[in-house]
Chain A
């Protein structure tokens, strides 16, 4: 199976997320960067499918040149190819991002053949637009389901066959069965992503990253500012220290009527 995973480089914030003084972006001056957690699971899921059914995994990202780091990380855990659509600035709203990714995917497929499966995160960790994958799937004319926490493939590596996918709902799950080529938006919980091995790390340094220039029209959503939500300041009542606080805790539970 040929699988494509779309990943996004995002800052890795700590206990709080700070915004730059002009409110235009996250203040990432002292932060590391990572791949959105859903997409890390997407990469792992793709690698597992390929290990089981043969084939190869390609990762694609749209972002600044530094996003190469996220592509190489994906390579260190099993991806074979990386493609970077290089853009700068953050005027990349979801419509524009989806259009540029679609163009890139069409280009890659024209050269190397169709992907049997394309994986997205359910939503990006930062923007959380819940739509880039859906738009790309629609532009490519392929079926797409979001919220996926389980994937199985049937059939051989030749491109025929179906994808069975599970989506968690309250108290159970829904099962979807879609013919390939298919597109899925996956969520953390799909698997526990592996850590790179030393060998994987070395191999990832050598893979070639194809670079494309990003062009697409702006969409209808534009950022004015980012800011932190107002926080309700609560005066924490300390009920006690250690086991002796148990009676006070149970008093609280009793008052709330949950005993």
Chain B
């Protein structure tokens, strides 16, 4: 049995969990095993149903009453307990921030290896896994020698797709937590912004060093607002203090996946590119025809962004009027 750990938020399976189930279906098939899923912290019907839509035959629910929010220690402990008592042939989660953390916690408890951000896995005596290095700029082929392989699949490495719909059996999992597992439970949540956020925005207007100043971002803000999108930026820009780090796209920033990424004055260094490459379409605006961002884009405008962006804003306004 392949056990997929499902991340959820407010009674909804997050996209990362749907990706994990999609990746898991293919993997379970290669293993010749069943696909089962685990929900930690809540076993709401909506979650079980969604897991079924993505092909899970059984859903194990571990929802101890004292676990009222996310806790890396408690979640990791529960996954480790599941490995010991359900004896899965392998365990998979999605390589989101939480997914990687929970699997690392479980692996540390089991003193077992854990392979983060896999793109492809071939089961065997030793597993053969292709995984992400350098945030996706490089790939690493590794062998994994483990009793129970523990792995995550790279975030956005597969497009989520519902499978053969199942009506899953729900199995309560009796997890034991001690006080030390609850020390790292989330104490408080602060909502900062409503509406579209960078990771989910349908349009991202990115600016790089070529924007020239913090003020220069005003035009990108205006364009983003007109298109119902968000502003993004490069690390050069955050290092210069022009934008907050929460706007940064790339290996050490946010991974975006908009319908279109409009990248102005960004050279497209590999560490920036890996954060932008899941965009469905890319339009680059750059003075340099040979810039990496231009070469890799679907469309480009060659020119000074300070002239091009205002002209686009005017044209959008004209057509919307």
Residues in chain A within 8 A of chain B (CB atoms): 13-17, 19, 26, 37-38, 93-95, 98, 122-123, 125-131, 134-135, 137-139, 143-147, 149, 167-179, 185, 187-189, 192, 219-229, 231, 234, 236-247, 249-250, 252-254, 256-259
Contacts and interface: CB of A to CB of B under 8 A. Distances in A.
B301 A224 contact: no
A98 B112 CA distance: 12
B133 to A, nearest CB: 6
11 contacts: A37-B235, A37-B252, A95-B113, A138-B105, A143-B73, A171-B191, A179-B183, A188-B248, A226-B141, A249-B312, A259-B319
Contacts of A188: 235, 245, 248, 252-253
A173 B311 CA distance: 37
Given A134-B101, A220-B144, A222-B143, A241 B133 contact: no
B134 A241 contact: no
Given A15-B267, A171-B192, A259-B227, A130 B116 contact: yes
B184 A176 contact: yes
Nearest to A166: B190
A241 B105 contact: no
B303 A145 contact: no
Contacts of B145: 220-222
A138 B311 CA distance: 56
A47 B22 CA distance: 44
Interface string B133-146: 11111111111111
Nearest to A250: B315
A173 B143 contact: no
A226 B292 CA distance: 22
B186 interface: yes
B117 A238 contact: no
B142 to A, nearest CB: 5
B199 interface: yes
B312 A172 contact: no
B115 interface: yes
B29 interface: no
Contacts of A122: 97
Interface string B292-309: 101111111111100110
A224 B187 CA distance: 42
Contacts of B259: 256-258
Interface in B184-228: 184-194, 197, 199-200, 202-203, 227-228
Most central of A16, A172, A179, A258 by chain B CB within 10 Å: A258
Nearest to B113: A220
A253 B261 CA distance: 11
Given A38-B252, A229-B138, A253-B316, A172 B192 contact: yes
Nearest to A247: B315
A170 B137 CA distance: 24
A147 B117 CA distance: 16
Contacts of A146: 72, 97, 100-101, 104
B63 interface: no
A240 B82 CA distance: 58
A17 B137 contact: yes
A256 to B, nearest CB: 6
Contacts of B314: 246
A26 B116 CA distance: 19
B67 interface: no
Contacts of B245: 149, 188-189
B109 interface: yes
Contacts of B113: 93-95, 219-221
A37 B316 CA distance: 38
Contact of B184 (A14, A125, A145): A145
B183 A253 contact: no
Nearest to A26: B138
Contacts of A144: 72-73, 105, 184
B308 A246 contact: yes
Contact of B139 (A94, A139, A226): A226
Contacts of A128: 116-117, 132-135
B139 A229 contact: yes
Given A130-B101, A220-B113, A259 B187 contact: no
B25 to A, nearest CB: 23
Given A131-B107, A143-B183, A259 B316 contact: yes
A177 to B, nearest CB: 5
Contact of B199 (A17, A98, A170, A254): A170
Contact of B311 (A94, A134, A185, A246): A246
A188 B189 CA distance: 21
A126 B100 contact: no
Nearest to B291: A15
Interface in B120-165: 128, 132-146, 152
Contacts of A127: 133
